[in-house]
Amino acid sequence: MSTVSSLLSGMAAVMTPTNFIASIIGVLIGTLTGVLPGLGITGALALLLPASYGLSPATAMIMFCGVYYGAMYGGSTTSILVNIPGEGASVVTCIEGYEMAKKGRAGAALAVAAIGSFIAGTMGTVGLTFFAPMLAKAALAFGPPEYFAIAILGLVLLFNISGKSPLKSALMVMIGLMVGTIGFDPMTGVSRFTMGIINLEDGIEFIIFTMGLYGVGEILASICKPEEQGEMMKFKFRDLYPNREELKRSLPAMFRGGILGFLIGLMPGPGMTISTFVSYAVEKRLSKHPEEWGHGAIEGVAGPESANNAANAAQMVPLLSLGLPFNSSGALLLAGFMIHGVAPGPMLMSTNPDLFWAIIASLYIGNVLLLIINLPLVGVFASLLKIPINILLPIVMVITFTGAYAINNSLFDLGLLLLFGVLGFILKQAKFDLAPLVIGMFLGSTIEKGLVQGMIISNGSFMTLLSRPLAGTMLKIGLAVLLFSILRSIYRAMKARKAAVV
C-alpha cells in the first residue's frame, strides 16, 4: 500500500465518532494547558496519562497527539497578551508579540500565530509522513561533540538577538550560563552553587526563570507607571484579525519558520526552543522593515510560532520511527504508548500499520481542528486586554503564581519566580537585555554535557573536536561569525568616534 492510501485509511480510522471526539478533547485540553502558563505539553500529558486507561490504544494515542499539538498552539497566547511565556518555545514570541499587543494588535498577533502554527504544523506532519525513517537515522549521527558545537553555534548566532550592546549581551549570556550550573552536575551528580539550599539541588527550572524575568518583571514595571493605571485598550472588531499587509508579510516567515523548525526539531534535545530563536534571528535579518523590530514586527511572531510547531512535529520523527524520545514531552508520549501496550519504533509501521497511520492522520486532523478552534478564540483572548490594567495586573500575577506552582508543586519555586521577577525588572530598568540571559541559561546544560563528554571522547584534545565533520564545521562557522561580529563592532565604534570628532 502506498503512503497516500495508508494515510487515507488512517484518516478514516480517526473520523470514527469515538476517535474524532477523542481528538477534539485532546486538542481542547492541549489548548487550555498551553494557554495557562507553566503547564505546557509535559504537564498536560502527565495529567492525562492516568485518565486514558479505559480507552482503546488508538483512541488514547489520538487524544495524546491532540494534546501534544494543542499545547503548542496555546503557548503563544500569554506571551502575546501579557508577556508571560508559558514555555521555553514561547519566549521569543514575547519580544514582538507583546509589543504588538501594546499597540492594539494583539488579535492580529494571535491570529498570525494560529495560522502559522497550522501551516508549519502541517508542513511538519508532511515531513513526518514521508521522511520519518530516513530523517531519524540522520538525527542519530549527533554525538556529544555535535551537541556542544550546535549549542555554541546557537549562542554565537543568537547572543545579540536584540542588536543592542554586544558587550552587555555577552555578559548576560555568561550570567545565564552561571544560573544554568546551579544544582547537581549532570555528569557526576555533585551539588554545585546551592549554598546548602536543598531545593536548589535539582537546579532552577527554566520556565520559572523565564516566567519570572519576563512575566513578573513586566507586571512590576507596569505597577510602577502611574499613568497606565486604569487604562484599557480600545480596539474595533476588525482590529482583531490581521490585515492584508500583515498577512502578506507573515506568510513567507511562516514557511521559512516551518522549514527551519522541522530541521532543527530533528536534533535531540531542546530543538523547539532553539528553532524559535533561530527563526527570529533569520526573520530579523531578512526583514524589509528593520525599524519595526523590537516594536512589534509581525514576522517576529509568525516565524518563531511556525518554527516551534514544525519542530514539535519533527520531534515525533525519532519517537515514531525509532522509539526514541528526544525531549521530556516525547518521553511522556512514549510512556502513554507503553501504557497502552504500543511500542513505537521501526516495527510499529510493519506490525501495527493501522495504528501508525491513524496516529499520523490524527496529527493532520488535529491541526485543522486547532485552527478552527483557535481563530474564533482570538477575539475572546484579545478582549481580555479590555479589562482595566489595574484589575488585570493582580489577576495575571495570581495566574502566573498558580501556573508556576503547578510545575513542581513547590512553594520554593514561587519564591524563585518572584526573585527572578525583581531581577528582570531591575535589569530591564538598567538597560540590560533579557533574551541573552534566557538563551545562556537554556543552552547551559547542553553546552556543559557536550563539552565534558566531548573532551573525554577526544582525550582532551580540542583539535579532535574540530576534526569531526559535523561538529568541526559548526565550530568553525561559529568562530568565523564571532570574529566578524567583533571586527564589525570595532569598526562601528571607530566610525562613531570619527563622526563625533567631526
Partner 1 sequence: MLEKAVSGALVIISIAYLYMAKGLSFGSASQPGVGFMPTIVGAMAVVLSIINFISVMLKKDNKKANKKDDDTAPKMDIIKLVKFVAGCIVYVFMLDYTGFLIATFVVMVYLLKVTEVQGWVLPVIVSAGTSLGFYIVFEKMLGVLLP
Element (H or E) spanning 376, and its range? helix 353-383
Q: Is 384 in the site for partner 1 (CB under 8 A)?
A: no
Binding-residue pattern over the window 226 to 255 for partner 1, x denoting contact by CB under 8 A: xx-xx-------------------------
Strand pairing class (183-184; 191-192): antiparallel
Judge contact between 349 and 317, C-beta under 8 A.
no
Closest CA relative to residue 159, chosen from 258, 285, 278: 278
CA angle 375, 85, 397 (to 5 degrees): 105
Q: Which of residues 265-294 bind partner 1 (CB under 8 A)?
A: none
User: What 3-state DSSP class applies to 49?
Assistant: coil
Task: Tell me the C-alpha distance between 320 and 128, whole Å.
Answer: 9
Q: Which is nearer to partner 1, 202 or 239 (CB)?
A: 202
DSSP conformational letter for 213: I
Q: Which is nearer to partner 1, 267 or 437 (CB)?
A: 437
Q: In angstroms, what is the minimal distance from the CB of 91 to partner 1?
A: 21
Q: Which of residues 163-202 bind partner 1 (CB under 8 A)?
A: 167-168, 170-171, 174-175, 177-178, 181, 185, 187-188, 190, 192-193
Task: Tell me the C-alpha distance between 463 and 323, whole Å.
Answer: 34
State the CB neighbour count (10 A cutoff) for residue 164: 15
Q: Which of residues 34-53 bind partner 1 (CB under 8 A)?
A: 36, 39, 47
Q: In angstroms, what is the minimal distance from the CB of 393 to partner 1?
A: 6
Q: Which is nearer to partner 1, 133 or 394 (CB)?
A: 394
* Grid cell for residue 389: 490594567
Question: Which residue has 488514547 as its cell numbers?
Answer: 60
Binding-residue pattern over the window 340 to 369 for partner 1, x denoting contact by CB under 8 A: ------------------------------
469 phi/psi in degrees, rounded to 5 = -55, -55
From 69-77, 308-316, 342-350, 406-414, span contacting partner 1 (CB under 8 A): 406-414
Q: Which is nearer to partner 1, 175 or 259 (CB)?
A: 175
Judge contact between 27 and 64, C-beta under 8 A.
no
User: What 3-state DSSP class applies to 79?
Assistant: helix
Q: Is 431 in the site for partner 1 (CB under 8 A)?
A: yes
Q: In angstroms, what is the minimal distance from the CB of 188 to partner 1?
A: 6
Q: Which is nearer to partner 1, 2 or 459 (CB)?
A: 459
State the CB neighbour count (10 A cutoff) for residue 429: 12
Judge contact between 98 and 298, C-beta under 8 A.
no
Residue type, 494: M
Q: Which is nearer to partner 1, 220 or 369 (CB)?
A: 220
Binding-residue pattern over the window 208 to 227 for partner 1, x denoting contact by CB under 8 A: ------------x--xxxxx
Q: Is 422 in the site for partner 1 (CB under 8 A)?
A: yes
State the CB neighbour count (10 A cutoff) for residue 414: 16
User: Can you tell me which of 23, 33, 160, 321 binds partner 1, judged by CB under 8 A?
Assistant: 33
183 phi/psi in degrees, rounded to 5 = 110, -165
Binding-residue pattern over the window 438 to 477 for partner 1, x denoting contact by CB under 8 A: ---------xx--xx--xx--xxxx---------------
Task: Tell me the C-alpha distance between 452 and 187, whole Å.
Answer: 8
From 6-14, 300-308, 360-368, 429-437, span contacting partner 1 (CB under 8 A): 429-437
CA angle 76, 106, 373 (to 5 degrees): 55
Residue type, 486: I
User: Can you tell me which of 140, 394, 483, 484 binds partner 1, judged by CB under 8 A?
Assistant: 394
Q: Which is nearer to partner 1, 17 or 226 (CB)?
A: 226
Residues lying near partner 1 in the complex (CB under 8 A): 32-33, 36, 39, 47, 167-168, 170-171, 174-175, 177-178, 181, 185, 187-188, 190, 192-193, 220, 223-227, 229-230, 390-391, 393-395, 397-399, 401-402, 405-406, 409, 411, 414-415, 418, 422, 426-427, 429-432, 447-448, 451-452, 455-456, 459-462
